[in-house]
Each structure stands twice: as structure tokens, then as C-alpha cells.
Amino acid sequence: MLTKRIIPCLDIKNGRTVKGVNFVDLRDAGDPVELAQIYSEAGADELVFLDISATEERRKTLANLVLNVAEKVNIPFTVGGGISSIEDVDILLQNGADKVSVNSSAVKNPQLINDLAGKFGSQCITVAIDAKQIDGEWIVHLVGGKVPTELNLFDWAKEVEERGAGEILFTSMDHDGTKDGFANEALNRLSTTLTIPIIASGGAGNIQHFVDTFRDGQSDAALAASVFHFKEIEIKALKQELRNNDILVRL
Amino acid sequence: MKIVIVNYGAGNIQSIKFAIQRLGYEAVLSDDPEEIKNADKVIFPGVGEASSAMKKLKNSGLDMLIPKLKQPVLGICLGMQLMCNYTEEGDTKGLGIFDVNVVRFNHGVKVPQIGWNQIEGLDSPLFEGVTQNEYIYLVHSFYAPITKDTIATSTYGLQYTTALHKDNFYGTQFHPEKSSLTGERILRNFLEI
């Protein structure tokens, strides 16, 4: 049977790993390639690299990083951050990325999803959606959660699926950095109304939160950063506890 | 040993090259019929959409070459699917090596299937040293039903084929290059056939 996935996320700036707390304060948590290897050996199912650099060399730096990761790591990984064209995706896939994730560029130009899925196949196109609740309604946000759009989370998620995305990475800006658990109500609604896999992101603080998001949120995968980077949760212990709760995992 | 990865512009082949490198072998990427013909082992990868991948194969004449190869050939993911008779994806005629038609998942499951599933019913030297129910990484929307050439199955809404073998041709729906130590073992087994 297909197992639930545990995905450490590595935020990358100028080739180094950082983690934003509520997307504002950044702390250095090491060398990405080394960290990727450690996570792979620790039992991570997949990795996400999110590039937040804003330099002119970012494209080249990221392609190099992808190549270095692909050389050393024997589990799949996704690369996101600033991807806005077929050329961007082509370079990353050619250097060894398994999937790419697009976020703001898809909101600004939804046709990009169709174009990418058509050219590279849905299976390697993840659409990342950041959202938070405004007056009780889930609203999609851009630029790391700073800029609200007109889009409703569930409408946008449906559109993204129809345009050919292979999966959705949903980050709740209300939960991110709180360590208070995932946005399971919204996740459950996404997971039961859409037919593509949903990755939960934002809010992981303890092992029970992962149990909850797989059970109550019906998430297909759960992504977290700092709880793994600062060793607050060991992946092996996490997966053992998930299994104890009758949640299917790879151990 | 000369290992060639067929390079016809279909997706992530760098990872396969690196996986082979980690096993202590070297592989070259090539679309040159002579070089492919003269290899000891041929890997036929594929990520993406079936009809456009098939078009690329035809443009380079590789659709005629691959079924005639005599050395061990391993098709991976879409590579495996293209070695079958037909795939529903893009209404595409395949290479006809495996006598089975590839169809879309349609059993109340999420599509694509993305992640780690288990392989069972292992019946091939390809799986030497691999125990039943080990985990492999898959990402796909279409699958080959169980057929006489099936040498491994997985369950996703229904039981289906995750590996095929006929004569010198092998195919895996999963990605050995992304399936951690289990995948490395399977890839090594293929290279040492």
C-alpha cells in the first residue's frame, strides 16, 4: 500500500540552508547537500528545497546545488522558489530534480501550470499555495505570505488541479511557525474534494501533530523544517509512532 | 562494462547516471544507434508524457532499434510503459515488447500515485537479495495490469504490475534510482545480470 510521506524542507539562500520563523527571521542550519544525505539516511521519504535567494546568479547557484544533491542522494526531491518559466524547470530537471514547485508565478500566470504539465508531465509539477484566513475565509497569499490575492484557497486549488498540477503543497500562514499543529480542517477539505495528493505544511511542533494531519487532515504527506533541523523530532521515532497509530509509513 | 542510458530528451536522466556512479560503474548518455547497439547494458528511462516521448523516439529512429536489442535492457517508469503494446496516455502505440496495454488509475484513488509503495510477488533475478514487501518509490498516473511477464506487483486501489521481464527486456514502474538502498540493490542486480 502507498505510505504517507515525511518531507523535511530545506530553505536555501545563496546555496546555504536557512529556516524562516513565520517567514521573517532567518537562522542558518547547515550545508544543504550534507543535510540532505543525513535526512535520506534517517528515513525521510522525500526532500523539498525552497530557494529564497534574490541574486542575479541564483539560477546558476540553484542548478549547481541540484546537481550536487542528485549526485549524493538516493531519494526524490523537489525544488521550488522563483520558478516562472519552462526554461527554469528544464534546467532543474536536467540537473536531477525530480519535481519542481511553482507558487506566485502560477497565480500571476495560471497558464504556466498547463504549459509545464504539458511539457514535463503532471507528475513533476507541484503547485505550492500559501494561504491564511481573513474574516473566516481562506485567502491565497503571495511573496512568502505578505501579499493577499483575491483568490479563495479552495477555488484556486481546484483550478490548479484542473490545469494539470500533480500535487499541491499547502502552507497555512496562520499555522506556520506556531508549532501548534497543521491546518487540518482546511487540509481535510482539500484532500477530500481534490483527486491529487496534498502535502500539509505549516505548524508541525510535535509527533502528535503528524498523527493528526494524516488522520484528521487526510493529508498524503507532511512537510516540516525546524523541528527536523533542530532535532526536536527524529524522523525514525516519528515514523515508528505513526505506525503505532496504524498510519502506513516506510520504515 | 559499457552502460548506455538512452538519451531521447525524456526527463530526469541525470539521477540514473549518478545512481549507477554510486554503485561504482560509469554510464554514458547517448542517442547514437551504434553506441546503444554496442553497449553491454542499456537503460531506457522516461519521465513525462507518453505520446510526446514516443514522438521523440520515432524522430531518432530509436523506436525501431530498441525492440531488436539483444543485451539486457531496463525500461524505467515511462520507459517501461513505452515497452508495452499501447498506453492510454495520449492514445499511444508502444514498442510492443511486453504484450499488455497500459491504462489510467481509475479506482477511487488519487492520481498520480506519488510516494513509496511495497513490491511483492517478486519472481526474477532482478530482485535477488530484495525481500517481499520492501518499499520502492513511484510517481505515475498510468499502470500496466498483471500479465504473464509480470515479475513484481504493488497495490494501489487494485493490484497491478510494478515490474516486467521478457527475454532480455526488463521494466520497472518504480524508480530504482530514487528508491534508496532497495533501489540500489535492484539496479546493481540488473547491471550484474
Catalytic-role residue among B49, B77, B107, B184: B77
Could you list the residue range(s) of the whole structural domain that residue A65 is in?
5-244
Whole-angstrom CA distances from A64 to A86, A151, A164, A211, B114 are: 18, 35, 28, 36, 26
- Residue of B165, B175, B184, B192 marked catalytic: B175
Please give the order of strands across the beta sheet that includes B98-104: B92-93, B84-87, B98-104, B142-143
**How high is the pLDDT of residue A23?**
33
Signed CA dihedral, A65, A68, A73, A75: sign only = positive
Sequence-distant (6+) residues with CB within 8 A of B98 are: B80, B83, B84, B85, B144, B147, B149, B164, B166, B169, B171
At A59 the pLDDT is: 85
Higher pLDDT, B10 or B193: B193
Q: Is the reported ipTM for this assembly greater than 0.85?
A: yes
CB-based contacts of A74, cutoff 8 Å, min separation 6: A40, B19, B22, B177, B178, B179, B180, B181, B183, B184
In angstroms, the CA B110 to CA B118 distance is: 17
Q: Which fold has domain B3-191?
A: Rossmann fold (3.40.50)
Which grid cell is A145? Answer: 505570505
Report the alpha-carbon distance of residue B188 to residue A112 in Å, rounded.
39
Instruction: Give the pLDDT confidence of A125-184 residue by residue, as tens digits.
Output: 999 999 999 999 999 999 777 899 999 999 999 999 999 999 999 999 999 989 999 999
Task: Measure CB to CB from residue B178 to each of A72, A74, A196 and give the nearest one.
Answer: A74
CATH of the domain at A50: 3.20.20.70
Pull the grid cell for residue B135: 518499499
In a domain, A216, yes or no: yes
Asked if the C-beta of B113 comes within 8 angstroms of chain A's C-beta atoms, the answer is: yes
Asked whether residue A154 is assigned to any structural domain, the reply reads yes
Residue type, B22: R
Domain residue ranges of chain B, discontinuous segments joined by +: 3-191
CA distance A145 to A140: 8
Counted domains in chain A:
1
Name the least confident of A26-35, A150-159, B8-17, B33-42. A26-35
pLDDT band at B10, cuts 50/70/90?
low
Count of A–B CB contacts within 8 Å?
A: 104
Per-residue pLDDT, B45: 92
SS3 content of chain A, % helix, strand, coil (to 5): 40, 25, 35
| Chain A nearest C-alpha distance from B1 (Å) | 21
Q: Which residues of chain A have pLDDT under 50?
A: 20-28
Name the pTM for this structure.
0.94
Chain B: residue whose CA lies nearest to A121:
B48
Q: What is the pLDDT of residues B94-106, one digit of tens each?
A: 999 999 999 999 9
**Nine cell digits for residue B78:** 515511462
pLDDT score at A31? 78
pLDDT of residue A19: 56
Q: Which residues pair with A184 in a beta bridge?
A: none
